[in-house]
Structure 1
Amino acid sequence: MTVELTQFELLPLLRGALIARDNTPVVLQPSQAEPTVTISADGADVAEVAAAVAAALPTDLSLPATIKVTAGGAAAVVEASKLGGAATVPSSRQPEAGHASSRAGVVAGRVALVTGGAQGFGEEIVRSLHASGAWVFVADLNIDGATRLTEELGERATPIKVNVADEDSVRAMAEQVVATTGGIDLVVSNAGIARAGSVLSQELSAFQLSTEVNYVAFFLVTKHLGQILRQQHVAAPDWTTDIVQINSKSGLVGSNRNAAYAGSKFGGIGLVQSFALELVDHRVKVNAICPGNFLDGPLWSDPDNGLFVQYLRSGKVPGAKDVDDVRRFYESKVPMGRGTHGADVMRALFYIVEQDYETGQALPVTGGQVMLSS
């Protein structure tokens, strides 16, 4: 009996086997070259195929190497390589995990994807991950912006056009990831929108759009990219991967005249906790980062439809005569006196990836504006 596999299922198994062999992430890219090693494996289930692939890997195989792998009717020829400076994340059982200096390299050599990565927080996350040695997929509906960013970054950056609220689009994104790198290690679900307005007057369409992009999309991204992480885990049972939702302080406390946004973000925390309980079986950690207001980003400062403008129009800030009044009002609410910066979020993201013993958490990064309470 032979299990039927697709290339989408096969390549993460091969990548997992290579990761398990060296405890280091690898990249699998399509190759036209003659293979240096050929692996064939059949079995009654996916775990059996994964074990056969792992057993067939030559112990002296050095990377980069051209590999042909076949199983269950699926076949692929790929160039397997490690990114320069690839680093592993120390397990909590290893002595070096106790040294904070390890945090700087936790994403080096890993494959990451950032939704909404072409602008705002997403762009800052992309730039930081890339500068830290990761291969980064910039996934955005704004494909022109994503392409410009990846062209600026150069190698190890790939644009993907995606509508995160459309399942076919998200499925195609997952397939493109596997076809490009063979798998993934870090998913950052960052895409989001805000449509402020009173519950007494807001259009249903605006409420539904916030729900689709901020809540439903996180489900779709986790569903389809989580399948890759699960498949890798079959062949690399000790390798830990991460899904991180960029949530908001509005996922922790209500937001006046911004119920659509806050409600979708509260729901996101529920998904984080629920997904964490399920995916821990595949060594996938699922956590959220809840930033304060990114006042310098387009979500707030866009001159036509940014939150400064929306809040001024909706009267959310009593007495405000212009957007500068709105900005000063929100800065005054933060004990540390400023909005959140991209670097603040990245420190939290690196911590989450490095932390081997935490899942299902919502980490506030708010300058003290929102504090944890029991």
Structure 2
Amino acid sequence: MSGTPDRSRSIAGRVAIVTGAASGMGRATALLLASEGARVAITDLDLAACEAVAAEAGPNAKAFALDVSDGEAIKAVVADIAAQFGGIDILINNAGISAFCPLDADDYDDIWHRAVAILLTGHQRMVRAALPWLRQSDAPRIVNIASTEGLGATPGDTPYVAAKTGVTGLTRGLAVDLGKEGITVNCICPGPIHTGMTDKVAEADKLVFAKRRTALRRYGEPEEVAHITLSLVLPAASYITGAVIPVDGGLTARNA
């Protein structure tokens, strides 16, 4: 690319796709982008849940059912979104599942393959499907949501750890491949966040973990992750790519 990059801090009118947007960090991100004036495609497995988020986001949001483990569905839905919105500027790969599984579990292989399909393969498929429209944008942005499990490991969590570590590597590889086209690709690694995945953890246990492991001594909120995502998709964020950013309350900084 040549010329002076756009220094705007506005995403008004930009078209954004958010996967896994029916709840948690995806929902918070979709609502924040919509509040900033973006036109948002809210995607998830549950169309009714997506429609509820779209109604909350306002008239510039639309709901789309999407299973990111289905490659053909990705191609069809992304093309439909681009047709309805007139292009794509921003892609947020947020869809995820929990994949905790001990090595000797009978269903380990099944969980491994599902984790990789949704948490890693789905990301690259979404990117490749959206590329024709991202290449037409004057401020194309991709943000992949990984995890601090991609920077370290919790016992018994190898399928999730492997997939999320793959997301950090995929991010760097995509940043290098797409940098010459001005497409930025960055990765956020959330730490302990209040989401549907962590709802099953008792509040007392969350408190103990947060005080023991994080510098801020608390779990984070989905909106705190969403605001970092917003910062990365601004037109002005034109010289940051290939970054892997922990949003973890200081979990990865703290030794004891």
TM-score by length of structure 2 reads 0.91
Name the SS of the counterpart of 2:129 in structure 1: helix
C-alpha separation in 2, matches of 1:169 and 1:154: 25
Show CA shifts across 1:208-259 (max 9, x none). Answer: 11111101100110110122212x15xxxxx221010011111111222111
Match of 1:327 among 199, 206, 215: 206
Corresponding residue number in structure 2 for 1:129 = 33
Corresponding residue number in structure 2 for 1:338 = 218
C-alpha separation in 2, matches of 1:221 and 1:151: 24
Asked if the contact 1:364–1:371 (Cα under 8 Å) also holds between the matched residues in 2, the reply is: no
Name the SS of the counterpart of 1:148 in structure 2: helix
1:205 aligns with 2:110: yes
Name the SS of the counterpart of 1:298 in structure 2: coil
Whichever residue aligns with residue 188 of structure 2, its letter is: I
Change in CA separation of 1:202 and 1:279 when aligned onto 2, cut-off 3 Å: farther
More RCO (CA 8 Å, sep 6+): 2
Deviates more, 1:138-147 or 1:250-259: 250-259
Identity %: 27
Corresponding residue number in structure 1 for 2:13 = 109
Whichever residue aligns with residue 144 of structure 1, its letter is: A
C-alpha separation in 2, matches of 1:297 and 1:202: 28
C-alpha separation in 2, matches of 1:184 and 1:138: 13
Match of 1:253 among 152, 155, 160: 152
Structure 1 outlier segments of 4+, above 2 Å = 151-154, 323-326
From the CA coordinates, give the structure whose radius of gyration is larger. 1
Corresponding residue number in structure 2 for 1:223 = 128
1:165 aligns with 2:69: yes
C-alpha separation in 2, matches of 1:324 and 1:110: 38
CA RMSD of aligned residues (A): 1.8
1:149 Cα offset (Å): 1.6
1:175 aligns with 2:73: no
Asked if the contact 1:215–1:265 (Cα under 8 Å) also holds between the matched residues in 2, the reply is: yes
Corresponding residue number in structure 2 for 1:262 = 161
Corresponding residue number in structure 1 for 2:229 = 349
Match of 1:370 among 248, 252, 256: 252
Asked if the contact 1:207–1:260 (Cα under 8 Å) also holds between the matched residues in 2, the reply is: yes
Structure 2: give runs of 5+ residues left out of the alignment.
none
Name the SS of the counterpart of 1:290 in structure 2: strand
Asked if the contact 2:33–2:230 (Cα under 8 Å) also holds between the matched residues in 1, the reply is: no
1:351 Cα offset (Å): 2.3
Corresponding residue number in structure 2 for 1:37 = none
1:243 aligns with 2:142: yes
Asked if the contact 1:112–1:187 (Cα under 8 Å) also holds between the matched residues in 2, the reply is: yes
1:325 Cα offset (Å): 4.0
Structure 1: give runs of 5+ residues left out of the alignment.
1-89, 234-238, 309-322
Show CA shifts across 1:327-361 (max 9, x none). Answer: 22321211101112123213312322232111111
Corresponding residue number in structure 2 for 1:298 = 196
Show CA shifts across 1:255-314 (max 9, x none). Answer: 2211111110000111101111111222110100111111x211110xxxx4x2xxxxxx
C-alpha separation in 2, matches of 1:167 and 1:209: 13
Whichever residue aligns with residue 91 of structure 1, its letter is: P
- In the alignment of these two chains, the number of paired residues is 247
Corresponding residue number in structure 1 for 2:187 = 288
